[in-house]
Amino acid sequence: MTMKPSIPKGTRDFSPAEMAKRNYIFDTIREVFRLFGYNPIETPAMENLSTLMGKYGEEGDKLLFKILNSGDFLRGADMKLIEEGNCPKLAPQLCEKGLRYDLTVPFARYVVQHRAELQLPFKRFQIQPVWRADRPQKGRYREFYQCDADVVGSDSLLNEVELVQLIDEVFRRLKIRITLKLNNRKVLAGIAELIGAPDRLIDITVAIDKIDKVGIENVNAELLERGLSQEAVDKLQPILAIGGTLEERLSHLEDLLAESETGSLGVRELREVTEGANRLGLDAELDLDVSLARGLNYYTGTIIEVKAKDVAIGSITGGGRYDNLTGVFGMSGLSGVGISFGADRIYDVLNTLDLYPDDTRTATQVMFVNFGAAEAAASLKMIKELRAAGIACEIYPDAAKMKKQMAYANATAVPFVAMVGETEMAEGKMALKNMATGEQVTVTPAEAAAMIR
């Protein structure tokens, strides 16, 4: 007996209805990327494992999907490792390639590999799936899409201003109300200096990044656990408690960090980005969040995170500036800044709020009923005319019972049904029924095209 087939856990099939919704999101993001002067690239699903390993930390290495070498994959394998059952060390001997884990490392690899052909600054976008061998759970998949835009080869904060505008425009079009949180790695460094622990920046950011999730008490406990002094933790409190308007908080932070050159520079950068973006007008609410570090350690300047106001779902977009992304591939001194839209979370937000336009399901617009060979032939001629006018049509392929054909029309939610019987054939017309209103008219293909459009 054959088992009902399935797909690997953490992966998904997308039906036509789901595809229509997802394409609405991708098309919106893609169009805004284009308007902002970003150009598409694509990289292979498989990268050399040497490109991927060591770029996402030890945990990340474990989450890489590795591809078994073809043919005699045991050739290069160390039998001792097999006997010991040392899978982590054995895997790279059996596998030369792995699946893309994100779009950032492949982009860095792309820039270095193609540097001779690239015109800097290089603005690229990339919308492709990535794969992670994570434990699947609600909202977390093993295959999911990322939508990234980055510019490399320019230090200008104008890039940040533009990216904030870009994010605002995407969510304005998607009708999702957002809070756009900003921080700056230099501010975090300034804070570390201020509390007398300049070498503990990583410990501090890892701990305070969790403030929204676990609260200030737990953050303080973790800081002490990580070896910070009580005095340092005490000094940190007024900074984490800064309140007021964006301008008030920037001024307050400026005063608190006046002693730190790096910290002051960070505040100036934040001010330039927020003022530049606000000057042009934003739908999004801009927010300064000094606890924002986004876990990642490669950001060196601006840090960006977006949350939906009306759905509790975590970050739906994030990004920042990195000053040495391509350094691991032997090309240093190239500064970049970029953002990544989380398509799957945005999909969940749109589903929760039901924010899709009414015409999102853009399938067939007219289904022709099939009354037999002669009528079908006449229908096909009219269909050809309608298609030339850009209208998606189909004819029911079999001369089945009317009831069956109409059941198909209803199930596929076709907005119009056309019937070409003997009378209509003689007149070169069709009976066109609007499935929503029930209204029916007898029209020529040209008239039908005008009505449907």
* Alpha carbon distances (Å) from 415 to 273, 294, 386, 391: 48, 46, 15, 12
**Between residues 210 and 387, which has the closer beta carbon with respect to a copy of itself?**
387
Min dist. Cβ of residue 118 to a copy of itself (A) = 9
Q: Decide: helix, strand or coil at residue 239.
A: helix
* Burial (CB count within 10 angstroms: exposed 0-12, middle 13-18, buried 19+), residue 288: buried
Min dist. Cβ of residue 411 to a copy of itself (A) = 4
Is the distance from CB of 178 to CB of 259 less than 8 angstroms?
A: no
Q: Answer yes or no whether residue 252 interacts with a copy of itself by CB under 8 A.
A: no
Indicate left, alpha or beta for 372 from its phi (over 0: left) and psi (-120 to 50: alpha). left
**Between residues 291 and 370, which has the closer beta carbon with respect to a copy of itself?**
370
Min dist. Cβ of residue 396 to a copy of itself (A) = 8
Q: Which of residues 406-435 bind a copy of itself (CB under 8 A)?
A: 408, 411-412
Which of these segments, 158-166, 206-214, 243-251, 350-358, binds a copy of itself (CB under 8 A)? 158-166
Which of these segments, 4-12, 306-314, 348-356, 445-453, binds a copy of itself (CB under 8 A)? 4-12
Dihedral angle sign, alpha carbons of residues 410, 412, 415, 421: negative
Q: Residue 237: how many CA atoms within 13 Å on its side-chain side?
A: 9
Query: CA-to-CA distance for 101 and 46, rounded, in angstroms?
Result: 10
List the one residue out of 366, 326, 357, 351 whose CA is nearest residue 108. Answer: 326
Q: Which of residues 321-380 bind a copy of itself (CB under 8 A)?
A: 328-330, 362-364, 367, 370, 376-377, 380
**Between residues 81 and 353, which has the closer beta carbon with respect to a copy of itself?**
81
**Between residues 3 and 312, which has the closer beta carbon with respect to a copy of itself?**
3
Which of these segments, 7-15, 223-231, 244-252, 343-351, binds a copy of itself (CB under 8 A)? 7-15
Exactly one of 45, 216, 224, 353 binds a copy of itself (CB under 8 A); that residue is: 45
* Alpha carbon distances (Å) from 48 to 144, 247, 419: 20, 47, 57
Long-range contacts of 80-88 (CB under 8 A, 24+ apart): 88/61, 88/62
User: Pattern of binders to a copy of itself over 100-139, x per CB under 8 A?
Assistant: ---------xx-xxx--x-x-x-xx----x-x-x------
Query: CA-to-CA distance for 342 and 339, rounded, in angstroms?
Result: 10
Q: Answer yes or no whether residue 402 interacts with a copy of itself by CB under 8 A.
A: no
Q: Answer yes or no whether residue 286 interacts with a copy of itself by CB under 8 A.
A: no
Q: Decide: helix, strand or coil at residue 146.
A: strand
Q: Answer yes or no whether residue 147 interacts with a copy of itself by CB under 8 A.
A: no
List strand residue ranges (DSSP E) for 228-351, in order.
285-288, 302-308, 315-322, 336-342
Q: Which of residues 313-332 bind a copy of itself (CB under 8 A)?
A: 328-330
Q: Answer yes or no whether residue 405 interacts with a copy of itself by CB under 8 A.
A: no
**Between residues 72 and 358, which has the closer beta carbon with respect to a copy of itself?**
72
Min dist. Cβ of residue 131 to a copy of itself (A) = 7
User: Pattern of binders to a copy of itself over 188-227, x per CB under 8 A?
Assistant: ----------------------------------------
